[in-house]
Structure 1
Amino acid sequence: MNKKLYRSTENKAIAGVCGGLAEHLGWDADRLRIGYVILSLLSAAFPGLLVYLVLWFVIPENPTPS
């Protein structure tokens, strides 16, 4: 139950942030991406883009793909 959060190396569109979050939470990655884009657009896109970039640099890439 102590699962670490990593960026996905297999399920990624740009940097693997949404794929890694989806794997960690047990959600569908495509639905998470769509929700993230919609939420970002509703908040004038800039905060969503900034959060994605920060997560890209903060979350380490998965060293051992599953």
Structure 2
Amino acid sequence: MDTDRKGAPPDENLTRPTQGRVIAGVCAALAERFGTTPTTMRVLTIASLLLPGTQVLIYLALWILIPSEDKQTTTVTA
């Protein structure tokens, strides 16, 4: 089983955190999922923008597709 740097299993649900966002929380969510720092993910994202491609469209799609932590609801049944 994979574990993150803190020894806990990685979060299987990809959500944009409410804390630590810069624009939309996409880089923070990806960093949490892949066990790296948000700063590293942001640097990689900015560096990728220097290359030709559809990085901005992918970022926008992830912004729409990855749910926000504060909008996730859990249903409790008795």
Which category of TM-score, normalised to the shorter sequence, fits these structures? 0.7 to 0.9
Unaligned runs of 5+ in 2: 1-8, 73-78
Size of the alignment, in residue pairs? 62
Q: CA deviation at 1:48?
A: 1.1
Higher helix share: 1
Structure 1 spans left out of the alignment, 5+ residues = none
Percent sequence identity over matched residues?
A: 35
Runs of 4 or more consecutive aligned structure 1 residues displaced over 4 Å after TM superposition: none
Pick 1 or 2: higher relative contact order, CA cutoff 8 A, min separation 6.
1
Structure possessing the higher radius of gyration over alpha carbons: 2
Q: RMSD between aligned alpha carbons?
A: 1.7
| 1:3-53 residue CA offsets vs partner (Å, 9 max, x unmatched) | 210112112110000001101111011011111111122126xx1111110
TM-score (norm 2): 0.70
